[in-house]
Structure 1
Amino acid sequence: MNDARTEIYARIRGTATGASRQDIDSALHGLGSGPSAPLPSIEPCAAFLANVLLQGGSISTARSRKATVQAVAKYLFERHRTHKIAAGHDQRLAALPWRDAGLLPRFGAAGSNDAVSVSFAAAAVVETGSVILLTGKASPAANHLLVEDHIVLVDCEALLSTLDDATEWVGNLRHRPRGIQLISGPSSTADIGMTLVSGAHGPKRWHIILTGEIPAEAEEEARELAGLT
């Protein structure tokens, strides 16, 4: 067995060293990139929101800072009947008019008593309905993973069309974050008995609030595309 394995490894090494770096780069370039997944809508905001719904998340939209905190407050009241929420030390979160919606954010990492957290995504991927979070003081990993409900704010100007675009975006970051998390829906697993269980390794619920200059019909179109109307 060892002799056979040694022979196989030798063949692999021989193949790898038989081509120059230029030949390898040329071959990779010739392969091109694979086709992207078809988007459910041409309009990126509606397409992103539809994919969030298809991933098991929930959505709302807000076109102003006041509307953003009101959307957070509405979700908190409907789900938990509370006005408390954990938030990272993100300047964008700190600048929101929380008091206008009667909310009391606690800035820092989520603890065992925090049921809900809110984060501001660094970017998001239309193709998959995913959000990109850069972990650190401004966005602690605990806030993404240890709460029951995770609310993520996404600026419509931060939407990236495909995962390839997201990879390029990450590569162009000026400063390397502590970590990069690509989140696509609430936590779920079917490891045991092929039974889908939510919240096994993270939040049970995942709510996206898309902010900014969003087309008026984007949310309604997204629900139609996801088959929810």
Structure 2
Amino acid sequence: MNSDARTRVMARVRGACQGNSATRIEEELAALGVAPAAALPHEDTCIAFMVNVLRNQGTLEVAANRSDAVKRIGNYLYDHYRSHRLVAGNDPRLAAMPWRDGGVLPRFGELEAGEQIALSHADWGVAETGATVLLSGKHNPSRNNLLPEHHVVIVDVDTLLPDMESMWQQVNPVLERHGRPRGIYCIAGPSSTGDIEAQLVYGAHGPRAWHVILLGEVDPEKLDMARALHAGAAAGASKD
């Protein structure tokens, strides 16, 4: 936008605001109400979260306990890179994982050049969007979220929330106790862009793959249901 166009736009905005007091503007905003929450793909929060992770082009596994999670991480590393090495933030939850059970060799710290896979532990998962929510810090360096080819994220099933409003209700007390982090990441899929000829490309600006491990007791039928719902939605979309 050039300076002349900007001047015209701002003049129209100022003209529209003339005669409107702050009180009137607040009343008009209040009259708009709150937008309804997006409908979840299933009434069960866990199933809805898993469906949306899959819809967001993520991959998903369920691990009953930490030992199982480590084994699944080890398999993921070997399947993609024939390696058992990754980088993880200095998160006590990750440091306490029984890494030997899966033969995984983690390096704790910030992602460096040449490292392809980073592991994070989410603070919450949001069913409404299928997002994993992470607060940045030494335990979760921003580079580990943004720069690896593959980003693996562990989410405790007990931390799943239905919607973004519920997430902020959890975040605000944490900020009051520990201060504001430099970043709050809501990650809902691998990096993607449609900037070039409207063609969807993954990995252009960040991780090419996003793998979620849901940690805790989850009925296997729930995972089957999530996959079935996702497959059904995908089939319907392809027909359209």
Q: Deviations over 1:69-118 (max 9, x none)?
A: 11111111111111001000001000110111101000000111211011
Q: How does 1:10-159 map onto structure 2 within 5 Å?
A: 10-16=14-20, 18-20=21-23, 27-159=28-160
Choose which of 189, 192, 200 in structure 2 pairs with 1:188: 192
Separation in 1 of the partners of 2:224 and 2:85?
29
Matched with 2:204 is 200
Separation in 2 of the partners of 1:6 and 1:102?
61
Separation in 1 of the partners of 2:124 and 2:146?
18
Counterpart of 1:207 in 2: which secondary structure?
A: strand
Counterpart of 2:204 in 1: which secondary structure?
A: coil
Unaligned runs of 5+ in 1: none
TM-score, scaled to structure 2? 0.86
How many equivalent pairs are there?
226
Change beyond 3 A, Cα 1:15–1:156: farther
Unaligned runs of 5+ in 2: 236-240
The CA deviation at 1:171 is 3.0
Matched with 1:160 is 161
TM-score, scaled to structure 1? 0.89
Separation in 1 of the partners of 2:194 and 2:203?
11
Separation in 1 of the partners of 2:36 and 2:146?
32
Counterpart of 1:227 in 2: which secondary structure?
A: helix
Matched with 1:227 is 231
The percent of aligned pairs where both chains have the same amino acid is: 41
The CA deviation at 1:209 is 0.4
Quote the RMSD (CA, aligned, Å).
Answer: 2.3
Q: Deviations over 1:185-221 (max 9, x none)?
A: 0011111112221110001000000111322322111
**Structure 1 runs of 4+ with >4 Å offset:** 1-7, 23-30
Matched with 2:238 is none
Matched with 2:181 is 177
Separation in 2 of the partners of 1:176 and 1:122?
15
**Aligned residue type for 1:74:** N
The CA deviation at 1:164 is 2.3
Separation in 1 of the partners of 2:33 and 2:156?
31
Change beyond 3 A, Cα 1:30–1:213: farther
